[in-house]
Structure 1
Amino acid sequence: MTAPDYEYEINVKNLTFSHSPDSPPSLDNISLALPKGSRTILVGANGAGKSTLLQILAGKRLILGEDTFVHIKGHDVFRNSPQGVTFLGTEWAMNPVVRGDIVVADFLNSVGGYRHAARRDVLLDLLDVDLDWHMHAISDGERRRVQLCMGLMAPWDVLLLDEVTVDLDVLVRDDLLKFLKADSEERGATILYATHIFDGLNAFPTHVAHMHLGTFTTQPTPWPFPPTNATSTRPPTLYEVALEWLRVDRAKRRELEKQGRKSRGARKDTVPLDSETFYKKYDYSH
């Protein structure tokens, strides 16, 4: 029996999205239903549509389709934006504003850190952030820690994460994941997390999903998975599952390339590109 829509914290139906009218869909008629308190890992190759999906859920891209249904906490994310939704993505660290000469303590206060002092202080300790850092003079990993502190210090109901642990060292990442898991369990909060780093993630998710070329090839499935064959008593690790899924994805894509899809990799054309012809003409290195 299918659960009613209101039982899902994140609920998507008939979602198709293209970045421009002339480009193929980045998301192709997908549906997604996640219960409150779930922690779902999105697995997929680069370009599978994970970031686009997260940005749409965060209300950062507008969908106009009449049949499209994108709800979080029972609210339409475009027409009645729900409160308590936090999106953290990688593009934040490239913003020139957060690379300016501003002290971290002042930066956090400018976004209301004083209103969430208890959670802010827990995160400052957990992420090992120095309040006297200057944002323009710290590393990408340290800047990422500040972003996480800023984004997580206000209690959230739904957390959308797009590769935000990529710059963290393994210790801080492990501490962060334990904090997020405990926070989710204690408050019944929901997490949807797209990542390519699967080490140390086995105990984190309640569900795992697989995207390929803008569609779900595996809908959110309870984790851990059972052993893969009758002779094994050990469940597969998330790393093993992801590696196998991505191998299959690449094989499928290469079959599609044989059928006319634009190919990747080295070009086999015998006629040189115009740019190659031009630069060869003025190449005096030999």
Structure 2
Amino acid sequence: MATPIIDIRNLSVGFTGRAGLTLPVLRNVDLTVHRGESIGIVGESGSGKSTLALASMGFLKQGLRVIGGRVRFNGEDIFARSRQELESIRGGQLGLIPQNSGQSLTPTMRIGAQMAEALELHCSLPKSGFRARIIELLGQVRLPDPEVIYNRYPHELSGGQQQRVAIAMALAGEPDALLLDEPTTGLDVTTQAHILELLRDLARERNMAMVYVSHDLGVIARVCEKVMVMYAGEAVLQGPTAAVLRDPAHPYARALLASIPRLCDSHLPIALDGRPPPPGGAGDGCAFAPRCALAREACRAARPDLLEAGQGSQARCFFHEEAHALAAGGTGADPLHHRPDGTPALALDGVSISYAAPGFLDRLFGRGDDVPTVDGITLKITSGETLGLVGESGSGKSTILKAVAGLLPPAGGRIGVGEDTGLPATVEQRRPEQLRRIQMIFQNPDDSLNPRHTVAEILAQPLRLYDRLSGQALFDRSVEILETVRLGAHYLDRLPGQLSGGEKQRVAIARAFAAEPELVLCDEITSALDVSVQAAMLELLNDFKKLKDTTYVFVSHDLAVVRALSDRVAVLYQGRLCEIGPTEKVYGSPSHPYTSVLLNAVLEPDPDKAPALMAEDVVELSPPAQGCPFQRRCKRRLGAICDTEAPPWRDAGEGHVIRCHIPLDDLDTGAAEQS
């Protein structure tokens, strides 16, 4: 057999703790990747996924060291290489696509200049040929107008375009292997589906090996032939993708699948109880035993080896035959659905928002932005209701939340909360009671939690401001709030940097609810979380809805998450509403052609279920000045009427309305044909 590209044997990586003990982060891991193979590594945060992937390119985070085992790349020990040799390999024979492409691109350099640096380091091409090669690479990753992209700065590109640039840079050195660390996290469903198709095609064309780290099992099902499931720093299940995802032979893998919301199921996913052990805390037995439904005394006494479990897979479980009888998804509790009583919670009346700053002459003559970013948004949400806002990146979802929160003043229209029909445009203009009624939870808790403040100080801010609490009363209320989000009093003295991603998001939720708000704005709050933590967050939000009758506006790219939590859904394209209605109606039929595109692009954790893309892979910088906003990408376009006339709202009954020139009967027929 040919020499593997990556050959990891019995690798253990760890660090020295305060007591002088060596604490393992990876324990005796084996991984073999051949040319042309695609292998996915999955597991909860802290399971060792990224540590393993980075170790395969000879990189360890500060404080970590190799305790035992070896890593070979193309037959040679990578940790025996000099720093100069490693630099020549990384970015050349071994490419890396990071999770956040925006942070890996230099904001002050044009795309062409950044890619030229990669070519200079890893290619023998003369500088005179750099421009042509860069444009060729940008074309390979299907970026529109490569010559235009060449001269742009990163901030002038969408998230999907930035990720394609990162892929092009990784391909510049014509790598033998490509490491991908959550490269599609945070991307909308259509952009993600197109990028995954691109990666599959490139791997086949170049016969590249791919190691794909992700918590999204739908992504892994789409791009990987084999899967390794990690828990507490060791492989607990590995084998062909179909065997691992369809009928996994390990209780932990089945619990992960149960944590995934499904597009075809309106139940909340099942949250996995407990948490993984800290480094060095697994003991002598099975690391998963404290959380396992099959655990027995034998599991606590000895650590199981990887055992043959059928269908080409190996499981680290004494009782893997019994694992097949455990539930594997889609059987969680029903969410609390709201019965409208007419009490107003939030009203948007003709709201338009623009990021364009008018010049002096525009202000003098009263001219505004001809094509605002968000336009004509009219929505009414009743008390206790959850409205899901969905659409691709750039559709205006977060922009609307920022306007409601007072972080971005609208250019026109009115925003009302409760009986207050004319809410001031900015935070500075709002009274304390108005501020209290609306709280926002951001996608990345690191952006909203002060890294120098303890959890106690973070929670004290709203409690002092709104409730005038101090002393023992402040402490008691802080503990009560933490326990509500399933954290304890011992977290009060911790800094954000001492918390996991899920714990930080719980603190952000606790701070929002400390103000006892009537309306909570959730902006992609589960997108960066692993599936088990995500399920716990959805359960937590549902609990608050039961306890407080909280009203939510929930923004997410994950349409299955939106279905699990929302009473109604509003679909946005280019800042314009296309469809509004009860969740079951919007996810059913008929639906707007754009809604169908979004639903058909959703990935399921099944390698046989491919997304059915129905729109061109094009990023539009602004909506057309007239006609239907979706006209340029719609596969069901009727002709000139779509280009020149604004589409009418069509009433599909039960509060379900669709803005489209296509008659409802034809929309219904088209949706049935596409499914």
> Normalised by the size of structure 2, how large is the TM-score?
0.33
Does 1:118 pair with 2:136? yes
Q: Which residue does 1:36 correspond to in 2?
A: 35
Q: Describe how 1:219-238 pairs up with structure 2 within 5 A.
A: 219=238, 221-225=239-243, 228=247
Does 1:198 pair with 2:198? no
Give a deviation string over 1:213-243, Cα, whole Å, max 9, x none: 1000013x112128649xxxxxxxxx98842
Aligned residues: 252
Letter in 1 for 2:74: K
Q: Which residue does 2:107 correspond to in 1?
A: 99
Q: Which residue does 1:10 correspond to in 2?
A: 6
Residues in 2 aligned to 1:171 and 1:18: alpha-carbon distance in whole angstroms: 39
Q: Which residue does 1:189 correspond to in 2?
A: 208
Alignment counterpart, residue 243 of structure 1, candidates 254, 257, 260: 257
Change (3 A) 1:253 1:21: closer
Alignment counterpart, residue 190 of structure 2, candidates 150, 154, 171: 171
User: Is contact 2:12-2:66 (8 Å) kept?
Assistant: no
Change (3 A) 1:147 1:187: closer
Give a deviation string over 1:79-120, Cα, whole Å, max 9, x none: 24556111222366435x7122x2223322333254465333
Query: Post-superposition shift, 1:42?
Result: 0.9
Per the alignment, in what secondary structure is the counterpart of residue 68 of structure 1?
strand
Residues in 1 aligned to 2:144 and 2:181: alpha-carbon distance in whole angstroms: 20
Change (3 A) 1:185 1:120: same
Alignment counterpart, residue 133 of structure 1, candidates 138, 152, 155: 152
Change (3 A) 1:214 1:249: farther
Change (3 A) 1:207 1:186: same
Q: Which residue does 1:234 correspond to in 2?
A: none
Residues in 2 aligned to 1:41 and 1:196: alpha-carbon distance in whole angstroms: 10
Give a deviation string over 1:110-169, Cα, whole Å, max 9, x none: 332544653332125279883343224555554333222212243221111101111333
The gaps in structure 1 that reach 5 residues or longer are 230-238, 276-284
CA RMSD of aligned residues (A): 3.8
Q: Which residue does 1:85 correspond to in 2?
A: 94
Give a deviation string over 1:171-197, Cα, whole Å, max 9, x none: 332222222222323333211101122
Letter in 2 for 1:87: L
Letter in 1 for 2:189: V
Change (3 A) 1:137 1:243: same
Alignment counterpart, residue 217 of structure 1, candidates 236, 250, 260: 236
User: Is contact 1:37-1:185 (8 Å) kept?
Assistant: yes
Per the alignment, in what secondary structure is the counterpart of residue 98 of structure 1?
coil
Letter in 2 for 1:9: I
The gaps in structure 2 that reach 5 residues or longer are 120-129, 261-269, 278-288, 292-299, 301-484, 495-514, 516-675
| Larger radius of gyration between Structure 1 and Structure 2 | 2
Query: Larger deviation: 183-192 or 158-167?
Result: 183-192
Residues in 2 aligned to 1:202 and 1:24: alpha-carbon distance in whole angstroms: 33
Give % identity.
22
Residues in 2 aligned to 1:140 and 1:175: alpha-carbon distance in whole angstroms: 13
Letter in 1 for 2:107: R
Residues in 2 aligned to 1:18 and 1:165: alpha-carbon distance in whole angstroms: 28
Query: Post-superposition shift, 1:210?
Result: 0.1
Alignment counterpart, residue 487 of structure 2, candidates 252, 255, 266: 266
